[in-house]
């Protein structure tokens, strides 16, 4: 598995292991590589394949109800004995019951995404024995989350696919990594090669999270049309959605442009109209937007309608060039990091 790039000295692999040691120990995996949680994509098959390959798979709960999540966790556990996590959206109306499902099934790590998790849900997860991972979009929030009990953080740049913040990973890493050492910090957004992973590890990251790179894993159940769109896509094709009115903030979503992207603009305008008319509260309007994306993503991932569905993808999509097994992708990323470290060592020794 580790011969993706020939001629790399064992010392270089050992060096990458040392840089990943803290993150890998926290996750309980061979490598400190998390699978990004992608609705309809990060399900039992891909999650188990990533964990079996030495990475750390994460189930995307998305809009699942507790019984459905329970079923997905059990099915994943039937495919792997390795640890994996579950990503929960903080605005889910049944967040605490979802936490209870994870705890009852013995899930080792719970990832709270989409906002600052309510204190009760975070406390419930920790008291139940799970390690909690939260997303930190700024240094001040990183510190607040640590005080609230987060065991690890993910800093995700605007290069990522799906819901994104306004700041690139390049800037977030400089802002946060030198100042947050109390807990492991994983980097995410636009990462598609091992050389980039190595550079962030050397800056102090505990590991990396990748989503787009794993969409074309052989084990991923995404429709062949969806995978072909990723293989054909370039970085410039993955563009964030536009917010129509600053009075109604809508988190931008990065995706490959198609007819579905245009449809979202008209849907957003209708939700905005209903919000301003008092027909919807802000929370109801935001949930309506989320349900639109969930449906559009399902249309593309499951049904293969890549014209009208949502093709959520990060800017690293241009580095997805073929379908290959999850183990091969993981091996390639690690080999690239090791090769870069070996080259750097040779230059320094010269």
pLDDT, residue 188, reads 98
Condensed to tens digits (0 to 9), the pLDDT of residues 211-255 reads 999 999 999 999 999 999 999 999 999 999 988 887 777 888 999
Stretch 321-328: mean pLDDT, rounded?
Answer: 98
Render 157-205 in DSSP notation, one character per residue.
-TTSSEE--SS-HHHHHHHHTTT--SS-EEEESS--SHHHHHHHHHHT-
Question: What is the pairing mode between strands 253-256 and 238-240?
Answer: antiparallel
Calculated CA dihedral for residues 228, 229, 232, 234, nearest 10 degrees: -150
> Strand, coil or helix: what is 321?
coil
Residue 172: pLDDT over 90: yes
Measured CA distances, 248 to 240, 280, 288, 349 (Å): 17, 12, 13, 56
CA 292 to chain centre: 20
β-pairing, 207-210 with 238-240? unpaired
Confidence of residue 5 (pLDDT cuts 50, 70, 90): low
Does the pLDDT value for residue 318 go beyond 90?
yes
Task: Place 4 in a pLDDT band, splitting at 50, 70 and 90.
Answer: low
Q: How confident is the model at residue 25 (pLDDT cuts 50, 70, 90)?
A: very high
Torsion of CA 295, 297, 300, 306, to 10 degrees: 110
Domains of the chain: 10-221+320-349 (3.20.20.70), 224-312 (no CATH)
128, pLDDT greater than 70: yes
Mean of pLDDT over the chain: 95
Least confident window among 114-123, 174-183, 307-316, 340-349: 340-349
């Amino acid at each position: 598995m580790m011969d993706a790039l020939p001629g790399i000295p064992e010392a270089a692999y050992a060096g990458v292991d040392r840089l990943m040691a803290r993150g890998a120990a926290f996750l309980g995996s061979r490598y400190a590589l998390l699978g990004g949680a992608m609705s309809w994509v990060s399900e039992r098959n891909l999650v188990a394949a990533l964990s079996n390959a030495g990475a750390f798979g994460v189930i995307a709960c998305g809009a699942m109800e507790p019984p459905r999540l329970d079923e997905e966790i059990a099915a994943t556990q039937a495919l792997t004995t390795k640890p994996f996590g579950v990503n929960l959206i903080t605005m889910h109306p049944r967040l605490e019951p979802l936490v209870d499902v994870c705890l009852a099934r013995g899930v080792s790590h719970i990832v709270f995404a989409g906002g600052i998790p309510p204190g009760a849900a975070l406390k419930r997860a920790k008291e139940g024995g799970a390690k909690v991972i939260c997303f930190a979009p700024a240094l001040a929030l990183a510190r607040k989350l640590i005080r609230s009990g987060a065991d690890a953080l993910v800093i995700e740049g605007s290069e990522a696919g799906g819901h994104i913040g306004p700041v690139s990973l390049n800037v977030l890493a400089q802002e946060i990594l030198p100042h947050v050492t109390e807990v492991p910090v994983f980097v995410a957004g636009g990462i598609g090669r091992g050389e980039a992973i190595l550079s962030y590890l050397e800056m102090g990251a505990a590991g990396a999270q990748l989503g787009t790179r794993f969409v074309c894993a052989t084990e991923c159940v995404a429709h062949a049309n969806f995978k072909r769109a990723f293989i054909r896509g370039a970085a410039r094709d993955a563009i964030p959605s536009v917010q129509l009115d600053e009075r109604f903030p809508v988190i931008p979503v990065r995706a490959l442009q198609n007819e579905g992207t245009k449809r979202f603009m008209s849907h957003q305008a209708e939700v905005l109209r209903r919000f301003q008319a008092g027909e919807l509260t802000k929370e109801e309007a935001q949930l309506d937007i989320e349900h639109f994306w969930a449906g559009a993503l399902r249309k593309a991932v499951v049904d293969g309608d890549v014209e009208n569905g949502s093709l959520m993808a990060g800017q690293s999509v241009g580095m997805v060039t073929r379908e290959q097994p999850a183990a091969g992708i993981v091996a390639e990323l690690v080999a690239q990091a090791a090769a870069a470290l070996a080259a750097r060592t040779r230059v320094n020794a010269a």
